[in-house]
């Protein structure tokens, strides 16, 4: 017999439940809509036109949420994610030296593999083989990396000849506005306003415009720019200077898709039977995202706001998807938003991601040490893939040294070997 909660039409007929789902969807949208403004700024590091990536972000988010609602019948919000966009932009494109077209190809290949795995029992085996400490460390490490990049972009952290880094000029108008934005975001979020980050960004943007604070060239975006969308739509590249680096990039992105997706879905979804179809929807969404010219989508932690507001079914995510489509009317405004206005959003997101440290078992050194290596090596090396490699290589070594080989499995060993080979070979190449 079909569960009533799985029938979207039953929810629509139940006026009380339908109203609750609508409110949950609106709440979720305001909690996550910042990706429209922030994701293009991060992905633009690859050299992709920021105005076109803005459209790609909206399209990818809309399709992801609609797939979550109609296909998985899940309240999860699927949008281009913070963290994986950093892997996409800073590690794969910039650090590994691929073109942005080839980076999209890497995202496509990773997404296809992830989708195939999500439709098999292998997804459960991989997910169950990786400890919560390791999954949490990856999220925390990426959070630290995002915070570092955000502070560097506004000039609060600068390179130094006498030391590794130095403190920027705190009296700089750009830095002062960014710090004000962070303060406002702290106040709004602590008081529980779902729209707090958006409000903070709007306030800082208005102040910057009124005071003529120079934050770099603005990008004028209009709906007419859709006519140039073919510049990034379905623009896969096959300039592959090193197949080893290509395979390493695909492997790293795949691992991040699996670990983040499983961790978020299992943590937020009350109905665990919806975890697998939600992951399947995420995989399909990622394929579309790469076609659109966007970094991969993820199951957003901000879905927790929608679920807390009463979201239980796919109606919630469908509402979010529709609102993303309607967000196209915001496009002309996006180009005027300076980097200092989005800094607070990135910092708060990084703060939330680093909060995952609480899920790491620090009482067991064989858990804590590999997790620690991931957390510090991601920002210190500027590479998410390298940071993950150090942690996953250290994990079996730590478990064997502590006499806990029963906590190891074949998946742990294979992942460690693959990461070790990737480090050695990429160093040689």
DSSP code string of 278-328: HHHHHHHHHHHHHHHT-PPEEE-TTHHHHHHTT--SHHHHHHHHHHHHHGG
DSSP strand pairing (165-167 vs 157-159): antiparallel
pLDDT at 213 over 90: no
Write the pLDDT tens digit of every residue in 322-335.
Answer: 999 999 988 887 77
80: which strand partners?
297
| Burial annotation 340-366 (CB, 10 A radius, 16+ → b, else e) | bbbbbbbbbbbbbbbebbebbeeebeb
Q: How far apart are CA 335 and CA 205, in angstroms?
A: 11
- Report, in this order, helix, strand and coil percent for the chain, each rounded to 5: 75, 5, 25
Which tops the pLDDT comparison, 270 or 398?
A: 398
Query: 209, 215, 220, 222: which is closest to 338 by C-alpha?
Result: 215
The pLDDT of 350-364, averaged and rounded, is 91
Joined tokens for residue 421 = 């080979």
Give the model's confidence band at 4: pLDDT under 50 very low, under 70 low, under 90 confident, else very high: very low
Give the model's confidence band at 218: pLDDT under 50 very low, under 70 low, under 90 confident, else very high: low
E-strand ranges in 113-259 read: 157-159, 165-167
Phi-psi region for residue 403, left (φ > 0), alpha (ψ -120 to 50) or beta? left
Write the pLDDT tens digit of every residue in 132-157.
Answer: 899 889 889 988 988 898 898 888 98
Q: What is the DSSP letter of 164?
A: S
Residue labelled with tokens 């975001």: 185
Joined tokens for residue 324 = 């993303």
Which tops the pLDDT comparison, 209 or 2?
A: 209
Burial class of residue 273 (count of CB atoms within 10 Å of its CB; 0-12, 13-18, 19+):
exposed
Phi, psi of 12 (to 5 degrees): -60, -40
Percent of the chain surpassing pLDDT 90? 46
pTM: 0.82
Percent of the chain surpassing pLDDT 70? 96
410 C-beta neighbours (distance < 10 Å), count? 9
pLDDT at 315 over 90: yes
Supply angle C-alpha 42, 422, 242, rounded to 5.
70
pLDDT at 7 over 90: no
Q: How far apart are CA 196 and CA 183, in angstroms?
A: 11
pLDDT at 337 over 90: no
Q: Is the dihedral of CA 375, 253, 148, 197 positive or negative?
A: negative
Q: Is 154 helix (H, G, I), strand (E, B) or coil?
A: coil
Write the pLDDT tens digit of every residue in 158-187.
Answer: 887 777 788 888 889 999 999 999 999 999
Phi, psi of 264 (to 5 degrees): -70, -45
Please, which residues have CB within 8 angstroms of residue 85's CB and are 6 or more apart in sequence? 39, 42, 43, 295, 296
Joined tokens for residue 1 = 């017999």
Q: What is the mean pLDDT of the chain?
A: 88
Q: What is the DSSP letter of 81?
A: P
Which tops the pLDDT comparison, 192 or 52?
A: 52
Q: Give helix then strand counts, H and E, for the chain.
A: 19, 4
Write the pLDDT tens digit of every residue in 8-24.
Answer: 777 777 788 888 899 99
pLDDT given for residue 3 in this prediction: 47
Q: How far apart are CA 123 and CA 111, in angstroms?
A: 13
């Amino acid at each position: 017999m079909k569960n009533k909660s799985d029938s979207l039409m039953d929810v629509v007929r139940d006026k009380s439940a339908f109203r609750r789902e609508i409110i949950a969807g609106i709440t979720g949208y305001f909690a996550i809509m910042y990706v429209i403004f922030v994701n293009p700024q991060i992905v633009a590091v690859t050299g992709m036109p920021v105005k076109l990536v803005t459209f790609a972000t909206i399209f990818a988010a809309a399709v992801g949420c609609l797939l979550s609602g109609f296909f998985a019948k899940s309240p999860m919000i699927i949008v281009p994610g913070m963290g994986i966009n950093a892997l996409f932009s800073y590690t794969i494109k910039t650090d590994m030296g691929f073109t942005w077209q080839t980076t999209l190809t890497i995202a496509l290949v990773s997404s296809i593999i992830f989708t195939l795995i999500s439709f098999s029992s292998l997804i459960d085996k991989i997910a169950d083989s990786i400890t919560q400490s390791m999954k949490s460390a990856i999220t925390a490490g990426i959070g630290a990396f995002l915070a570092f990049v955000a502070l560097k972009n506004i000039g609060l952290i600068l390179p130094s000849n006498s030391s590794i880094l130095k403190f920027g000029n705190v009296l700089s108008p750009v830095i002062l506005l960014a710090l004000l934005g962070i303060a406002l975001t702290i106040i709004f979020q602590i008081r529980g306003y779902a729209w707090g980050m958006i409000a903070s960004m709007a306030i800082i943007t208005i102040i910057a415009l009124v005071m003529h604070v120079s934050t770099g060239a603005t990008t004028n975006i209009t709906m007419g720019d859709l006519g140039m969308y073919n510049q990034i739509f379905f623009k896969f590249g096959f300039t592959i200077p090193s197949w080893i680096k290509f395979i390493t990039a695909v492997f790293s992105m795949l691992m991040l898709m699996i670990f983040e997706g499983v961790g978020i879905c299992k943590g937020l979804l009350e109905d665990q039977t919806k975890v697998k179809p939600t992951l399947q929807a995420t995989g399909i969404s990622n394929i579309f995202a790469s076609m659109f010219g966007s970094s991969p989508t993820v199951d957003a932690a901000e879905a927790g706001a929608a679920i807390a507001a009463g979201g239980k079914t796919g109606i919630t995510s469908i509402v979010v998807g529709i609102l993303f489509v309607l967000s196209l009317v915001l496009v002309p405004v996006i180009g005027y938003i300076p980097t200092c206005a989005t800094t607070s959003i990135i910092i708060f997101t990084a703060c939330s991601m680093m909060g995952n440290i609480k899920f790491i078992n620090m009482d067991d050194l064989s858990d804590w040490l590999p997790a620690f290596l991931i957390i510090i090596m991601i920002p210190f090396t500027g590479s998410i893939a390298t940071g993950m490699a150090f942690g996953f290589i250290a994990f079996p070594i730590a478990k064997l040294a502590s006499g806990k080989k029963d906590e190891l499995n074949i998946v742990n060993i294979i992942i460690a070997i693959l990461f070790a080979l990737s480090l050695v070979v990429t160093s040689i190449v």
